[in-house]
Amino acid sequence: MARRPGAEEERPWGLAEHGRLGKRKVVGVVVLDGWGEAPPDPFNCIHVADTPTLDALKKGAPERWRLIKAHGTAVGLPTDDDMGNSEVGHNALGAGQIYAQGAKLVDLALDSGKIYEGEGFKYIQQSFDTGTLHLIGLLSDGGVHSRIDQLQLLLKGASEHGAKRIRVHILTDGRDVLDGSSVTFVETLENDLAKLQEKGVDARIASGGGRMYVTMDRYENDWQVVKRGWDAQVLGEAPHKFPSALEAVKKLRDDDPKANDQYLPPFVVVDESGKPVGPIVDGDAVVTFNFRADRMVMLAKALEYEDLDKFDRVRFPRIRYAGMLQYDGELKLPSHYLVAPPEIERTSGEYLAHNGVRTYACSETVKFGHVTFFWNGNRSGYFNPNLERYEEIPSDTGIPFNVQPRMKAVEVAEKARDAILSGKFDQVRVNIPNADMVGHTGDLEATIAGCKAADEAVKIILDAIEQVGGIFVVTADHGNAEDMVKRDKSGKPIRDKDGNVQPLTSHTLNPVPIAIGGPGLAPGATFREDLPDAGLANVAATLINLHGFEAPRHYEPTLIQVSPVPF
Ligand SMILES: O=C(O)[C@@H](CO)OP(=O)(O)O
Ligand SMILES: [Mn+2]
Ligand SMILES: [Mn+2]
């Protein structure tokens, strides 16, 4: 959404009181990660799972339960074919406005060619004469963290703007796209690089690994993941060495069933003498080409910070580094970037802090930044440390999430319960990760167990809200567990000749539910009926209302209406 520059400063922070909704009611906000709505079917794990709490919300009060959009243009993505994701989902939930998101901004900058005129590109360009340009990122067309077509354009553009030696360090996906698709993406990239070679550019893939095992950790859950990537990308060292990335991906997948696209072990590409073809050395330029922040922040720190005690980097090359975007607005990380990130301003969290609302937010590590950093418009830290408290429960590390599908759902809910009962907070906000994190493994049975645990967690929170006479809002950021199979155009699961289906590990295009209630909710408060196309961005105004304030005028409209109740 375009806004006048400078208009921000003029606007006051104080919010008018809501005529019909009172202040100081505790509002419990639950974001069920990856919890979409889809027709009942054996591959709808939410439907199959035992979820009495969520079922009761849906059936109990139809005027206080509805669906909202969580994908595509409703959350600022380029098209309505783009599935939702946590970054754009929580940004919209927290900000109350729809911003053109990273994916879209990068598209625009590449289309117009402006990317090559910006400070970030000019900065890395200084290395092109004598150094190598390294591109590190997720190789797929998932559109959640990156897109291969953007990488292709960047490769072409960089070579036209002087890059003579290019090395790509790939991270295979299998999470936003089907497992096994890495092979095709590597083929596509190798073709492109061969074309550049014909034009005299020395361009190759230099290293790789699966996104969940190499590089793309988040919220400092496990620095070893970043170290594995560093060793391959920077030092040129990995347990597996191959003459080409295509061979690497095929062989590693064939040799070990656990080495799927998400968890492929790190490898380096070597020349005939066994030397790595593309370690990162002094004088080189590096671009991390993911536009999404969470899973690039740790690598950005390793590439940019002179001092880092999280793992032994062995060598800290003097490079020129730029992110595709700036990933953290508060830390200004990285300091150079090719495309300016969306300026997500005046989020609900900031408004509420200015209006004295005390907030508690909690999740386990893998989603902790979702209800804090993403919710607050990709800002780390507090708006007002006297009014806010964020708590993180450590996630399991070193195991895929289908092994412990209950994750820390109950622990997070118990923290929320305690915060609600403490009387110290007005908003208590959590993210319950199971449907998403377990859904991404493609393991149906585990996902069903995860959804059940998530439902139990919601019950703990709703019971606490009941006890204090508060209000609850239960919603989700995008779909995942409600559809776990690859389908044909008509929606039927695709089966191979042996009758097997391929699990769908990705998010979906489905809408998500939102339910409101609790003893503190004004009896006349119901969902409006004039907003059939509402989406996640309409939630922030709703929350502000439930805290007893009118929402800012520039927010997407509230979902609720409050009619006077006759005596
Ligand atoms: O795990 C992630 O990084 C994404 C999928 O790529 O999921 P979410 O948006 O739910 O965090
Ligand atoms: Mn999510
Ligand atoms: Mn997810």
| CB proximity list for 381: less than 8 A, separation 6 or greater | 330
478 annotated as a binding-site residue? yes
Pairwise CA distance, residues 161 & 203, whole Å: 14
Among 339, 374, 394, where does a domain finish? 339
Residue 436 labeled ligand binder: yes
The answer on whether 211 is annotated among ligand-binding residues is yes
Residues 376 and 334 in one domain: no
Beta partners for residue 205, in sequence order? 168
The span from the CA of 514 to the CA of 504, in Å, is 24
Q: Which numbered ligand comes closest to the C-alpha of 369?
A: 1
Same domain, 126 and 85: no
Helix spans in 257-339 (H) = 297-304
- Determine, yes or no, domain membership for 331: yes
Q: Is 16 exposed, middle or buried (0-12, 13-18, 19+ CB in 10 A)?
A: exposed
- Pair (334, 364) in one structural domain: no
At residue 310, φ and ψ (nearest 5 deg) are -80, -30
- Give dist(CA 557, CA 551) in Å, integer: 8
CATH at residue 265: 3.40.1450.10
Is 240 annotated among the ligand-binding residues? no
For residue 526, report the distance from its CA to the centre of ligand 1, in Å.
32
Task: Determine the distance separating the centroid of ligand 3 and the alpha carbon of 479, expressed in angstroms.
Answer: 9
* 495 found inside a domain: yes
pLDDT of residue 33: 98
Q: What percent of the chain has pLDDT over 90?
A: 96
- Angle (CA) 140 145 151, round 5°: 55
Q: Is 176 in the pocket of ligand 1 (CB under 6 A)?
A: yes
Is residue 152 domain-resident?
Answer: yes
Q: How many Cα neighbours within 13 Å face the side chain of 510?
A: 21
Which tens digit of pLDDT belongs to each residue from 342-385?
Answer: 999 999 999 999 999 999 999 999 999 999 999 999 999 999 99
Query: Are residues 411 and 550 located together in one domain of the fold?
Result: yes
Q: Check the annotation: does 173 bind a ligand.
A: no
Q: Regarding beta strands 133-139 and 285-288, do their DSSP bridges make them parallel or antiparallel, or are they unpaired? A: parallel
User: Is 86 among the catalytic positions?
Assistant: yes
**Ligand 1 atom with minimal separation from the 34 CA:** 10
Q: Is residue 274 a part of any domain in this protein?
A: yes
Last residue of a domain, one of 321, 339, 357: 339
Beta carbon of 33 within 6 Å of any ligand 1 atom:
yes
- Output the CA 35–ligand 3 centroid distance in Å: 10
Ligand 1: nearest atom to the Cα of 367: 11
For residue 5, tell me if it sits in a domain: no
What separation in angstroms does the CA of 428 have from each of 238, 362, 465, 473, 474?
44, 8, 10, 10, 12
Per-residue tokens: 533: 């196309």
Mutate to test the pocket of ligand 1, among 33, 140, 144 (most ligand atoms within 8 A of CB): 144
Q: What's the 563 CA to ligand 2 centre distance in angstroms?
A: 34
Atom of ligand 1 nearest to the CA of 506: 5
Q: Are residues 238 and 256 in the same domain?
A: yes
The Cα–Cα gap between 496 and 500 comes to 5
Among protein residues, the one with the nearest Cα to ligand 1's atom 8 is: 86
Same domain assignment for residues 222 and 246: yes
Task: Find out whether the beta carbon of 85 lies less than 6 Å from any atom of ligand 1.
Answer: yes
Do residue 323 and residue 382 come from a single domain?
no
Judge whether 266 and 237 are in contact, CB under 8 Å: no
Q: Which atom of ligand 1 is nearest to the CA of 145?
A: 6
For residue 122, which amino acid is it?
A: K
CA distances in angstroms from 466 to 134, 151, 393, listed in the order given:
55, 51, 24
Residue 336 Cβ contacting ligand 1 at under 6 Å: no
**Kind and range of the H or E run holding 365:** helix 365-368
Give the residue, out of 85, 217, 370, with the most ligand 1 atoms within 8 A of its beta carbon, to mutate for a pocket test: 85
> What tens digit of pLDDT does each residue of 285-320 get?
999 999 999 999 999 999 999 999 999 999 999 999
Residue of minimum CA distance from atom 11 in ligand 1:
86
Q: Pick from 141, 176, 213, 370 the residue to mutate for probing ligand 1's pocket: most ligand atoms within 8 Å of its CB.
A: 176
C-alpha span between 550 and 548 (Å, rounded): 7
Q: For residue 441, give the CATH number of its domain.
A: 3.40.720.10
Give yes or no: residues 31 and 107 share one domain: no
Distance CA 516, CA 401 (A): 30
Measure Cα distances from 51 to 14, 78, 458 in Å. 40, 34, 10
Using the predicted structure, report yes or no on whether residue 123 has a pLDDT greater than 80.
yes
Q: Would residue 567 count as lying in a domain?
A: no
Task: Give the atom of ligand 1 at the shortest distance from the alpha carbon of 142.
Answer: 6
Same domain, 357 and 294: no
**What is the domain extent for residue 172?**
103-339
149 shares its domain with 108: yes
Domain count, the chain: 2
Ligand 1 within 6 A of CB of 295: yes
CB 93 within 8 A of CB 473: no
Select from 410, 500, 485, 494 the least CA-distant residue to 443.
Answer: 485
Q: Quick one: which ligand is closest to 32's CA? A: 2
pLDDT digits (tens, 9 = 90+) for 546-563: 999 999 999 999 999 999
Measured CA to CA, the distance from residue 124 to residue 118 in angstroms comes to: 11
The position carrying tokens 């408060």 is 525
Which of 138, 297, 507, 510 for a ligand 1 pocket mutation test, highest count of atoms within 8 Å of Cβ?
Answer: 507
Among residues 298, 318, 339, the one where a domain terminates is: 339
The ligand 1 atom nearest the CA atom of 294: 3
Consult the annotation and say whether 336 binds a ligand. no
Q: What are phi and psi of 83, to 5 degrees?
A: -70, 160
pTM: 0.95
pLDDT band, very low/low/confident/very high, at 565 (cuts 50, 70, 90): confident
Backbone angles phi, psi at 224, to 5 degrees: -60, -30
Cis, peptide link before residue 257, omega less than 30° from 0? no
List, in sequence order, every residue forming a beta bridge with 209; answer none if it has no partner: 171
Distance 92 CA to ligand 2 centre (A): 12
- Tell me, yes or no, whether 31 lies in a domain: yes
The tens digit of pLDDT for each residue in 29-67 reads: 999 999 999 999 999 999 999 999 999 999 999 999 999
Q: Residue 367, annotated ligand binder? A: yes
- Are 334 and 309 part of one and the same domain? yes
Q: Are residues 283 and 380 in the same domain?
A: no
What is the Å distance from ligand 1's center to 436 Cα? 8
pLDDT of residue 566: 66
Structure tokens that stand for 63 in this block: 């005027």
Cα distance between residue 560 and residue 527, in whole Å: 4
Tell the residue nearest (CA) to atom 3 of ligand 1: 295
pLDDT tier at 564, thresholds 50, 70, 90: confident
User: Band of the pLDDT at 4, cuts 50, 70, 90?
Assistant: very low
pLDDT attached to residue 2:
42
pLDDT digit string, tens, across residues 227-280: 999 999 999 999 999 999 999 999 999 999 999 999 999 999 999 999 999 999
E strand or H helix at 207: strand 202-210
- Evaluate whether residue 15 is within a structural domain: no
Helix (H) or strand (E) holding 448: helix 444-468
Distance from chain centroid for Cα 120: 24
ipTM score of the complex?
0.98
Q: Give the separation between CA 193 and CA 277, rounded to whole angstroms.
A: 14
